[in-house]
Structure 1
Amino acid sequence: MKPKDEGKIAEIYAATLVLVKEQGLAGITMSMIAKKAGFATGTVYIYFANKEELIVKLFEKCSTDYANDYFAGYDPSSPFKVAFHTIWMNMLRYSIEHFDELVFIEQCFHSPFITDETRKATKERLLPWRELIERGKKEKLIKQLDASWIMLFVRGSVRDLVKHCTYNQLKITDTFKESLFEMCWDGIKD
């Protein structure tokens, strides 16, 4: 049996991400994905049995990449605000550089394609961030709210900022990033 071509899988994934951003998760078909990738529909079926399998595998890849990027350069022993800043900036950078993946993850997370088990695994990948939030609460540096609410506030503000800037073709400068970080910090600090 011939091994699967990782390059073709990457092209199928890229085509899927663009189509989901343009048309939504429910609005795409395997033939649309194949056409966008420049392949015959049968070629896509060599790599994925159906749309559901493709969506699940792509979601797992994107959510793993997203979580890994959250923690690039993160040192859990750093002072809380420094560690939080690292994760926040990583989250923002990933959301800007991988906008199609951000849209895809957001659309998939609550779709019927993604199982409760997959959602749980996705949340577990972000456990170091939750632990950091709990540490900030314990050190009385941030609001004494459930960590899920704080994480939702932070992640939601980053996502909405990036979506607004992307759709309105606004530049996000380094100065603007730091100002936005401080706004977010002001929103969670105790």
Structure 2
Amino acid sequence: MRPLDPDKREKILQSVYTLTGRQGLASVNISGISKTAGIATGTLYIYFKNKEEVIQLAYAAVEDKMTQAMYHDFDLNLPIRQSLKKIYINMLNYRLNHYDETIFIDQYQQSGYIQLNFSKQLAEYEKQNKPLYDLLEKGKQEGIIKIVDSIMLISFFDGAVRSCSTGIMQKLFSLSQQLIDDNFDMIWRGMS
């Protein structure tokens, strides 16, 4: 048996993001994925058992890429505000440069798919985002960050970045250094 082509697998996953960006996750189906990826439906089934597996693996893949981007050049030893702003800028840049992927993430997290392996996904999320959890704990210990559950702080942070990127992409406001700074200042005031 021939080894599976990683480029084909990536095309399949990318087609899920593209379709979600165009028509929403609820409308994504195997036929559309195959057509968008430029492969036969039978070929798709060589790589994935069913639509649910494609969706689950698409989420895991994009979550991994986004997490790696979030912590690029992150340094826990820098001041809390500076470290958090680095994560914020990295996350905002990722969302703006990979908008279909982030639409997919957002819709996945609000769909029933998240419940299929919720405990496992939450544990993986906490593991991947240990730098942020550690930063928040450090900030709490130093009296800089509010003493509330870290997942609540992360949800607040994530929601603010998501709203900002959506506003930029929908042209509600223009991307500028002033917008980036103002949005982060609001986040900071909400968390400190």
Same fold (TM over 0.5): yes
- 1:42 CA displacement: 1.5
Three-state SS of the structure 1 residue aligned to 2:36 is helix
Where 1:121 maps in the other structure, the secondary structure is helix
Among residues 137, 149, 158, which one is paired with 2:152 in the alignment?
Answer: 149
Which residue of 164, 167, 174 corresponds with 1:164? 167
How far apart are 1:110 and its partner, in Å? Answer: 4.5
Indicate yes or no: 2:97 matched with 1:97. yes
Deviations 1:75-94 (A, max 9, x none): 11111111111111111111
CA contact (8 A) 2:19 2:33 kept: yes
Cα shift readout 1:116-154 (whole Å, capped 9, x = no counterpart): 212321232112201111111111112222222211111
* Secondary structure of the corresponding residue to residue 112 of structure 2: coil
Segments ≥4 residues shifted beyond 4 Å: none
1:52 Cα deviation after fit = 0.9
Out of 119, 123, 132, the position equivalent to 1:120 is 123
Show structure 1 runs of 5+ residues with no match. Answer: none
d(CA) in 2 for partners of 1:22 and 1:120? Answer: 30
Contact 2:164 2:183 (8 Å CA) reproduced: no
Task: Report the CA distance between 1:169 and its aligned residue.
Answer: 6.7
Structure 1 residue 74 displacement after superposition: 0.5
Q: Report the more deviating stretch, 153-162 or 41-50.
A: 41-50
Say if 2:151 is the partner of 1:132: no
Corresponding residue number in structure 1 for 2:20: 20
Q: Distance in 2 between matches of 1:153 and 1:53?
A: 29
Give the drift of 1:15.
Answer: 1.2
Matching of residue 183 in structure 1 with residue 186 in structure 2? yes
- The CA RMSD measured in Å over matched residues stands at 1.6
Q: Percent identity?
A: 32
CA deviation string 1:26-66 (max 9, x = no partner): 22211111111222211211211111111111111111111
Q: Deviations over 1:145-183 (max 9, x none)?
A: 222221111110110111122123743123321222122
Report how many residues are paired.
Answer: 189
The residue aligned with 2:38 is 38
Residue 74 of structure 1: aligned partner:
74
Shift, 1:109, TM fit? 2.6
* TM-score of the pair, normalised by structure 1: 0.91
Q: Secondary structure at the match of 1:26?
A: helix
The 1:44–1:169 alpha-carbon spacing in structure 2 relative to 1, beyond 3 Å, is farther
Alignment CA distance shift 1:37-1:170 (3 Å): farther
Structure 2, unpaired ranges of 5+: none
Return the alpha-carbon distance in structure 1 between the equivalents of residues 94 and 169 of structure 2: 13
